[in-house]
DNA sequence: AAAGAGGGCAACCGCGTCAAT
DNA sequence: GATTGACGCGGTTGCCCTCTT
């Protein structure tokens, strides 16, 4: 007959994960790697469904995850990808290293959606909302009049020749947005420019987007490509995405090859975070530190080699 | 200071697809 | 080929925290 059931439905724990459970899961994945989620709860000594373990690992415990709010450039990238892909969060997440589909989905629903609506952009179609509708919508949501910039966006957006204006308007809005960000300064998307103004951040994001999206066919084939770009030492399947900006189409733009991927600190900051509740509580004592270092260094070496191949 | 409202996020649910038997 | 279950994904829920009154 079919496969064995993934877990005994009876006695399966639900709800928030405890530190103890996290510890067990991390220990297990680090020592055994990711395989066969249905076997994980039993082997790791967890009273959880394999599905729940996978979710916990991919959305919260994975070492290559970034923390904090999405950066402006990441947000911009999400918007643009969403305009092309719709609610395919996993595909969108695949383009944002260290971000999970769940995280992006949540961020979209709680932040970006509202921002777009506020700016008179339909978050579903990414088209400008009807001026009256947007005004109504805005008044409904905010009990206030539409700000001048939104009105301008809506008005300009009515022009047939300005299809991409909503995104540009958003960029402008982001650029002007002076609200503080709690996001740490590291951005895998354009870390080279993140230290400069938010304008350059948006611009580089734009270049990146242009690069990715100039040819929708190329984008789609690229997005549907399931083959991992590089090897991740922990997951073996969802590595830090290599972001290469190589502008050659426009002679006015200096040809640059800007490749970024998470630094050692970024990739392993979670290990440092473990110290918050005692890294040894995780039972890492049993793991040879040299093994971890070597595996990660080896993976980084592989990344470097892959990068060189790409650049050749 | 307390209570209620709203927002954010982690986790669960249900469905579709693929693979094993 | 049919059946069954794992896996992955998107949608939804519910808890917790913060803000407002």
Q: Which residues make beta-bridge pairs with A274? A: none
CB A18 within 7 Å, strand C: no
Instruction: Compute CA A221 distance to the chain's CA centroid, rounded to the nearest angstrom.
Output: 19
- What is the spatial distance, in angstroms and rounded to an integer, between the CA atom of A93 and the C1' atom of B2? 42
CB A51 within 7 Å, strand B: yes
- What is the spatial distance, in angstroms and rounded to an integer, between the CA atom of A228 and the C1' atom of B12? 28
Between A299 and A169, residue with greater pLDDT: A169
Domain boundaries, chain A: 19-61, 72-177+188-229
Between A61 and A263, residue with greater pLDDT: A61
| A169 class by beta-carbon count within 10 Å (0-12 exposed, 13-18 middle, 19+ buried) | buried
pLDDT in tens, A108-151: 888 888 888 878 888 888 887 765 444 444 444 443 333 333 33
- What is the spatial distance, in angstroms and rounded to an integer, between the CA atom of A63 and the C1' atom of C9? 21
Of A79-88, A128-137, A291-300, minimum mean pLDDT range? A291-300
Of A50-59, A68-77, A218-227, minimum mean pLDDT range? A218-227
User: A19-61 architecture in CATH?
Assistant: Orthogonal Bundle (1.10)
Mean pLDDT of A84-92: 84
Confidence of residue A305 (pLDDT cuts 50, 70, 90): low
Mean pLDDT of A245-253: 32
CB A271 within 7 Å, strand B: no
Record the pTM. Answer: 0.60
Q: List, in order, residues 6 or more apart from A60 with CB less than 8 Å away.
A: A17, A22
For strand C, give the nucleotides within 7 A of a protein CB: 3-12, 16
Q: Are β-strands A257-260 and A243-246 bridged in parallel, bridged antiparallel, or unpaired?
A: antiparallel
């Amino acid at each position: 007959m079919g496969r064995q059931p993934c877990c005994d439905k009876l006695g399966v724990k639900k709800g928030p994960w405890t530190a103890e459970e996290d510890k067990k899961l991390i220990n297990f994945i680090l020592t055994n790697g990711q395989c066969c989620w249905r076997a994980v709860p039993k082997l790791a000594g967890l009273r959880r469904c394999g599905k729940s373990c996978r979710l916990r690992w991919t959305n919260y415990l994975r070492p290559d995850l970034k923390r904090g709010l999405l950066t402006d450039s990441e947000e911009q990238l999400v918007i643009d990808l969403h305009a092309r892909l719709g609610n395919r969060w996993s595909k969108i997440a695949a383009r944002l290293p260290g971000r999970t589909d769940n995280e992006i989905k949540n961020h979209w629903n709680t932040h970006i959606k509202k921002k777009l609506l506020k700016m008179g952009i339909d978050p579903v179609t990414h088209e400008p909302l009807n001026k009256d509708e947007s005004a109504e919508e805005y008044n409904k949501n905010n009990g206030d009049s539409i700000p001048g910039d939104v009105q301008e966006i809506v008005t300009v957006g009515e022009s047939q020749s300005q299809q991409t204006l909503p995104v540009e308007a958003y960029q402008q809005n982001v650029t002007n947005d002076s609200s503080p960000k709690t996001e740490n300064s590291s951005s895998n998307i354009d870390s080279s420019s993140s230290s400069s103004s938010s304008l350059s951040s948006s611009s580089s994001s734009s270049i990146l987007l242009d690069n990715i999206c100039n040819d929708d066919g190329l984008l789609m084939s690229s997005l549907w490509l399931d083959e991992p770009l590089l090897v991740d030492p922990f997951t073996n399947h969802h590595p830090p995405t290599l972001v290469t900006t190589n502008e050659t189409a426009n002679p006015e733009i200096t040809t640059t090859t800007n490749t970024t991927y998470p630094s050692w600190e970024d990739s392993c900051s979670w290990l440092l975070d473990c110290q918050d509740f005692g890294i040894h509580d995780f039972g890492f004592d049993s793991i040879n530190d040299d093994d971890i270092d070597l595996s990660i260094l080896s993976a980084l070496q592989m990344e470097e080699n892959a990068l060189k191949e790409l650049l050749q």
